[in-house]
Amino acid sequence: MYRIPASSSSWLERWLPQPLDRWVAGISLCSLVIGVILFLLGNHTAPYVRDFNWQQQRVGSRDLQMVLTFNRPMDAESIEANLEVQPPLPGRMRKLGRRFFWTLTEPAPYGQTYRVQLQAAQDEQGQAMARPFQGEFRTPDRQLLGIGTEPAQAGQLFLFNLETGSTTLLTPAAMKVTQMQPSADGQYVYYFATATGIQYQDLYRLNLEDQSAELLLGHQGYQNLRFQVSPTEELVVAERMPLERDPSGWVQTELWIQKERRDPFQRLELDTAVGGDFLISPDESSLLIAQGRGVGIVPLHPRASAESFLAQFGQTLAIRSDGAFGALLRFNPDYTRSLWIVSNTGNSQEILVAEGSIGVGTFSSVAPVFYSLVNQIDPETYTESPRLLAINWEEGSQTEVVRAEYPIGLDFSLAPDGRTLAYTLLEPFQGLPDPAAPLSRSGQAIASSQVWLVELEQGQPILSSRRRLPLGTSALAWIP
């Protein structure tokens, strides 16, 4: 008998008996063929910049990494050869996949607009960009916070813009501001203010964008003395003194802490007394507190190192923002004071010995320079006259920025980009002070003041650039 031949599709039906299976297999085969064809022909889409993280952004002193993201992996040498930033910004380049990181070696100068251009760069296969990339970003205007000493704005918090020369009052005339500190991102200002007397001052936070203020810590039952805000604003620490004394008459100050924004302040339980100034560590894990003849390091959360005590030092003046160096005071047996730079690796170096007191200080962000107020004693009158010194601890040199003669006081603030310094000469009231007068950092009532600006180069002052600003203030702080 004659047999009918088997169908040519019987092998497909035998392996994939279901119609749906055969349909899926066909689609997969087509996709594979298309993928092979694309691979053989190559991707002819021209390379381009897909994203620029600083495009039309305001870049502050804490922003150090510029990132270009491409649509494909690029040739690193062609990027480095063709990338232009105007005005120039020194930095180091690193490639990671399709992204290129340009890390600044120092903060970008404030008050400028920067243009980024890239053209003629190639991908890893040698294909050139079809069109050049152009980006733009701006650093913040140089702005100073102050507490007015002029009669029309005495005790009021104000903001002075150095680029426009304009002044903005931030607090009402009925409120007297006594202390202030801007946040590290430049969006807020924390300050003490009172409508009556300094023993009734409250802690506020002001939003600089809409100039709205909120009360953070009232004075009820306490006198608020001073405060510190951490770099991320997650920690706010205030020193307070109870108004109600114990039967012995002894009054012990307390530290109260807000660990997260919107949380209530809580008393920090300490094993030892608060003996003086305190600082929040840059990583926000600890408090450095002056206690007796040493510095106590108090952990603020369980992951922090155990509590310790630095008996060889008596006070912490400043810690650099990256935590690499600290400036600490040592009180010597001969009644002199010495200033030490201590690294986080344990190395220490004495950079100054003074007979008078050594006041506030701050690190340059661009050079191994520490700025500090140092008082010089008159051996006949035993009065102290302040000097502002710029001390380069690597070169072993120091420069006197300004000297004031008693009873004139002195205060200063270093710009976040490390390129400008402002200082104020403070004339205290002679005789009975005005109760409404603004106060200096040391608590003196200030009658008048002068503010001066000094340009810096590589962290060192250019004294020939000194110029006076048209404002008066009892305290200074740059907006970061």
pLDDT, tens only, 69-115: 999 999 999 999 999 999 999 999 999 999 999 999 999 999 999 99
pLDDT one-digit tens code per residue, 12-34: 556 556 665 556 566 666 666 55
For residue range 300-348, what is the model confidence (pLDDT) as tens digits?
876 666 678 888 999 999 999 889 999 999 999 999 999 999 999 989 9
204 touches 180 (CB < 8 A): no
Start-to-end C-alpha separation, the chain:
99
Walk across the sheet containing 99-104 and list its strands: 49-52, 65-70, 99-104, 91-96
Res 14: pLDDT? 60
pLDDT digits (tens, 9 = 90+) for 391-425: 999 999 999 999 999 999 999 999 999 999 999 99
Alpha-carbon gap, residue 165 to 158, rounded angstroms:
13
Place of tokens 């702080």: 477
- DSSP of 161-222, one letter per residue? ETTT--EEE-S-TTPEEEEEEE-TTSSEEEEEEESS-GGG-EEEEEETTTTEEEEEE--TTE
pLDDT at 3: 46
Helix H or strand E encompassing 35: helix 19-41
Task: Please state, in angstroms and as integers, the Cα–Cα distance from residue 296 to each residue in 293, 415, 421, following that order.
Answer: 10, 29, 31
**Position 8 pLDDT exceeds 70:** no
Contacts of residue 131, defined as CB under 8 A and 6 or more positions apart, other chains included, come to 46, 48, 119
For the ranges 110-114, 231-235, 434-438, the maximum mean pLDDT occurs at 110-114
Enter the CATH code of domain 49-138. 2.60.40.3710
Determine how β-strand 384-392 pairs with β-strand 266-267. unpaired
pLDDT at 301: 77
pLDDT of residue 33: 59
More confident site: 473 or 274: 473
Lowest average pLDDT, out of 229-238, 433-442, 458-467, goes to: 433-442
Distance CA 235, CA 335 (A): 36
Please report the pLDDT score of residue 275 as a whole number: 61
185, with CB counted inside 10 A (0-12, 13-18, 19+), is: middle
**Tokens read off for 95:** 């490639």
Q: What is the number of other CB atoms lying within 10 angstroms of the CB of residue 63? A: 17
What was the pLDDT predicted at 434?
A: 81
In the chain, where are the structural domains located?
Answer: 49-138, 143-161+359-480
Query: Residues of 284-302 as b/e, b for ≥16 C-beta within 10 angstroms?
Result: bebbbbbbeebbbbbebee
